[in-house]
Structure 1
Amino acid sequence: MVKGYQKDRSSEPHIQSKFDDNKVRLLTVPELCKAQSVPLHLVNEVSPNISYEGLGQGIDYLQGVGVGMVIARDVLNGY
């Protein structure tokens, strides 16, 4: 996902309607959180536009956690 996802550009991922093959929709904020492993409570208190923007500029949450753990480990071990 990229910043501006909510603008509904044709290059963005869409979900096809279960009921009508001609209709598609954008992922909801909770669906985007799940796709990027982001805990929903991190974006729950802000507007959907801000949530989409923040999620669009981010990386998979678990990758960020992993990088943080490696940095913390190396700092604590004096590397």
Structure 2
Amino acid sequence: QTINGAKYYFASSGLMQKDWFKVNGEDYYAASSGTIQAQWVKSGRNWYYVDTDGKMVTGDYIIDGEVNRFDNQGLWMNQIN
């Protein structure tokens, strides 16, 4: 749902989702404020990237014009030159 130009995700219970959550078995991320946007997410010592819908990316994905490689768990591996 978009409110005042910001994206949010609400569960069927009506609860606004924050941090990591699943939708149909897929991993998503929302900031602690609940906003959803394309961003890097650090979890422990690992880096992940979520797209503009908050969905964790896997495989090769272009970020700021550079191809980045993520494993099938979404863990950032390296930038491809």
Q: Which has the higher contact order (CA 8 A, sep 6+)?
A: 1
Q: TM-score, length-normalised on structure 1?
A: 0.32
> Which structure features the higher share of strand residues?
2
> Which structure features the higher share of helix residues?
1
Q: TM-score, length-normalised on structure 2?
A: 0.31
